[in-house]
Structures are given as structure tokens and as C-alpha cells.
Amino acid sequence: MIMLQRAMPIPAKLIALVLTACASAAVARDDAPAADASFFHLQPVRPVAELLPIALAQKPPEEKGDFRPADLVELTLLDPTIKLDIRYATPRNFLGTPLYTQARAFMQRPAAEAVVRANRALARDGYGLLIHDAYRPWYVTKIFWDATPPDKHDFVADPAQGSRHNRGCAVDLTLYDLKTGRAVEMPSLYDEMSERAYPAYRGGTDAARHLRDLLRQRIEAEGFTVYEFEWWHFDFKDWKSYGIQNVRFEDLGKPAAAAAR
């Protein structure tokens, strides 16, 4: 169990660490072969290198409420058959730059256990879960918002409100075939900012729509709701019970004072 406190201000030295990661592979598990090497990319409004220090210098919005203590757990420790393809730890994401220094996936324990149950149900269908993102520190949400053109803001969370990813209660995922180990074809690419990403999109192949709908059926059966603009994004029912977090993966489990160094 990882007990988490609200993060102290993130040190500026992380700037050099993350920018170094832009030129190298992230450290940790990223073990699922993709069905296609292509990925969605857009031209950022401002370069990520300019936005990073701004995001690191700011704090998440203050919240009032009786929130549950954070208890972020690592999905692959609960179920090793869950595979990872953490795009934000690689250049294969919509900004073309790594934002994480580790390819890992954490969620609040009840949400993580629900994902495990969905994965076991999918195994009976011949599929497993492939995770693209789960808990996301707030400063990364800030970068996403500031880098994305305003006409695409439906596809990124407003940092003034915080993302459900920031609360450890959202997950981006797809399916992989248990026989081949390969990710399946879906109606759109991950993070694609077009109508093909909508859960109700009626285009694409019958097979791709069937697998998209199967994913939704199995995940929603465990207390999640799909996001109206993204077939891969699911919010856990208790997301309002957890506060916004801004702790980096490498600092999870450290006391707040140590995490701020």
C-alpha cells in the first residue's frame, strides 16, 4: 500500500530531469507491442520545453472537502497480466515529448481493484487490458491544457478543475489479444482528437467497433463511465471522493518533505 500526502512544491531541478528524458527511453516497464507504430500528434501551441517550468512553478487549485486518504497502488503489482504502453513516458504521444520519467500506472485502490476484475472478465473473452495512462500528476495536466489548441480542449482536462486522472480515478486503456500479445485495432488511435475517438462513433470496421464496445461493457460493469469524447478514457464512480494530487511517480510513498527536495 502506498499512502500519499499532498505534494509540496515541485523543485525546479525536475526541469533538467524531464528534459533529459526527452532524449532517452523512460525507465520502467513498457512491455506491450503496439498493433501499429503510428500515433496521433499535433503541433503544440507552445513548446513543451517552455511550458514545463511554468507548470512546475504552479500549484494545483485549492479544494475544500472531506476527501479520502490517497492510496495509490500499482496496477501491474495487483495483476501482472495487465500490460503497459505508457505513451507519456515516450515520444509516442500527441505532444511528441516524454512527460513522465517512469512508465508506470497507479490508481486509487478501489479503482485499481475494479480494473483487475475487468481484466479477469476480459480474459474469458480472449483479451487483456493494455494501459496507456492512469494516475497523472497535476503539472502534466497543466502542460496538456496550455500546449493544446483551444479548439481541441474537449480532449484535455482544464487544470483549474483538475483531471480525474489527477485524483487517481481515471484510466486510459485498450485491449490486447491473449493469443498474440498484440494490441487490437480500434476505431481511432489513442489520444486522437477527432470524432473517430467518440465512444458512439459509427464508422470504422465492424470488428473495431465490436472490440471498443466490449471494452466499454467490461469496464463499465465494474463502476466506471466512459468519457463522451474518448473511447479509451474511463472514470471511476468514486472520483469525487479523492483530492487532486501532484506527486511524481518516483516520489510515491516518500514523506512529503522528502518528495519536495
Model pLDDT, residue 163: 94
Nearest CA-CA partner of 155 in 239, 227, 91, 244 = 227
Rounded to 5°, angle at Cα 65 from 64 and 68: 130
Q: Rounded to the nearest 5°, which phi and psi values hold at 56? A: -65, -30
**Nine-digit cell string for 235:** 472514470
pTM for the structure as a whole:
0.83
Q: Which residues pair with 106 in a beta bridge?
A: 74
Higher pLDDT, 187 or 152: 187
Whether the CB-CB separation of 98 and 143 falls below 8 Å is answered with no
Residue 38 has pLDDT above 80, yes or no: no
Domains and CATH numbers, the chain: 3-259 (3.30.1380.10)
**What confidence tier does 72 reach under pLDDT thresholds 50, 70, 90?**
very high
Higher pLDDT, 146 or 15: 146
Q: Count other Cβ atoms within 10 Å, centred on residue 2.
A: 14
How far apart CA 19 and CA 94 sit, in angstroms, is 17
Helix (H, G, I), strand (E, B) or coil at 15: helix
Residue 256 has pLDDT above 60, yes or no: no
Model pLDDT, residue 176: 98
Residue with the three cell numbers 471494452: 215
**Positive/negative CA dihedral, 159, 164, 167, 168:** negative
Q: What value does the mean pLDDT take over residues 85-109?
A: 93
**What confidence tier does 151 reach under pLDDT thresholds 50, 70, 90?**
confident
Model pLDDT, residue 229: 94
Residue 183 has pLDDT above 80, yes or no: yes
Task: Report the b/e string of 162-187 with b at 16+ CB within 10 A.
Answer: bbbbbbbbbbbbbbbeeeeeebbebb
Whether the CB-CB separation of 116 and 224 falls below 8 Å is answered with no
**What confidence tier does 220 reach under pLDDT thresholds 50, 70, 90?**
very high
**What confidence tier does 2 reach under pLDDT thresholds 50, 70, 90?**
very low
Q: Which long-range contacts (CB under 8 A, 24 or more apart) does 255-258 make?
A: 255/5, 256/5, 256/6, 256/7, 256/8, 257/8
**Nine-digit cell string for 50:** 517552455
What average pLDDT does the structure give for the chain? Answer: 86
Q: What value does the mean pLDDT take over residues 76-104?
A: 94
Within the chain, how many helices (H) and strands (E) appear?
7, 8
Helix axes 48-57, 138-147, angle to 10 degrees: 140
Model pLDDT, residue 244: 97
Q: Rounded to the nearest 5°, which phi and psi values hold at 73? A: -125, 155
Beta strands (DSSP E) in 152-229 are 170-177, 224-227
pLDDT tens digit sequence for 128-145? 999 999 999 999 999 999
Residue 255 has pLDDT above 80, yes or no: no
